[in-house]
């Protein structure tokens, strides 16, 4: 596989760290969108993770002139009819207040989720993390990948690793939340890890099939 250079269309440092850990050992040069100055964030109007990922990848590819990899991911809780879904990152952003940090918004999101599930028994707290990835160059989507992981929502946060809803997302087979897993183990079982592994296979074929337009 020839070297590829990809811009990650996110300012979420947790996502950047996870994707770098998987992609850079494969010879993929990974840059953050923050390396390109103050590009305004696009409005997320898609009703699905796939639609949002495509829109973000195309937007940032056009803004940077580079291959851009965007993901849209979140939590789908069965007892809440799939919520927070595509609104996962901003589920309780209003409660966190203007100018809140990512950590403060995450805490507000988790608090709202626990409040809404307060009367829901364990057997109905089933949920899944979903990740959809899209790689684009200016004007077109080059490839997409998808991953999920099943679990349930705990009754209180546990663990110091990860971000977002990780402290509440219990993987029953492991008896731990994803925030209690070391990064390598989380990447192995996570929705994003699974999507990235599918993505890497497709990326290898893409690079091998034509001229290197990745940098």
User: How confident is the model at residue 2, as a pLDDT?
Assistant: 43
The three-class DSSP label of residue 191 is: helix
The pair of three-digit structure tokens given for residue 132, joined into one six-digit string: 């959809």
Active site residue 72: yes
Q: Which of 55, 71, 72, 166 is catalytic?
A: 72
CA-CA distance, 8 to 15, in Å (whole number)? 9
The backbone torsions φ and ψ at residue 211, rounded to the nearest 5 degrees and listed phi first, read -60, 150
CA-CA distance, 62 to 33, in Å (whole number)? 12
How distant is the alpha carbon of residue 20 from its chain centre?
13
User: How confident is the model at residue 214, as a pLDDT?
Assistant: 47
Report whether 88 contacts 169 (CB < 8 A). Answer: no
Alpha carbon of 22 to those of 15, 88, 193: distances in Å?
A: 11, 24, 8
CATH tag, 4-209 = 3.90.950.10
Domain boundaries, the chain: 4-209
> Average pLDDT for residues 118-132, to the nearest whole number?
96
Give the confidence band of 116 by pLDDT, cuts at 50, 70, 90. very high
Most confidently modeled of 87-101, 114-128, 195-209? 114-128
pLDDT tens sequence across 185-197? 988 898 988 998 8
């Amino acid at each position: 596989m020839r070297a590829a250079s990809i811009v990650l269309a996110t300012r979420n440092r947790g996502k950047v760290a996870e994707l770098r850990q998987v992609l850079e050992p494969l010879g993929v040069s990974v840059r953050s969108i923050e390396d390109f100055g103050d590009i305004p964030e696009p409005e997320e109007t898609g009703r699905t993770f796939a639609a949002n990922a495509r829109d973000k990848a195309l937007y940032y590819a056009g803004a940077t002139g580079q291959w851009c990899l965007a993901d849209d991911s979140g939590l789908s809780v069965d007892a809440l009819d799939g919520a927070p879904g595509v609104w996962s990152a901003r589920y309780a952003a209003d409660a966190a207040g203007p100018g809140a940090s990512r950590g403060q918004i995450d805490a507000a999101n988790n608090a709202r989720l626990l409040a809404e599930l307060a009367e829901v028994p364990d057997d109905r707290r089933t949920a899944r993390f979903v990740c959809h990835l899209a790689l684009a160059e200016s004007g077109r989507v080059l490839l997409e990948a998808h991953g999920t992981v099943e679990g349930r929502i705990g009754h209180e946060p546990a663990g110091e690793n990860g971000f977002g809803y990780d402290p509440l997302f219990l993987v029953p087979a492991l008896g731990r939340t994803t925030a209690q897993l070391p990064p390598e183990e989380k990447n192995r079982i996570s929705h994003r890890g699974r999507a990235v592994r599918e993505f890497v296979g497709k990326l290898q074929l893409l690079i091998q099939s034509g001229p290197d337009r990745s940098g």
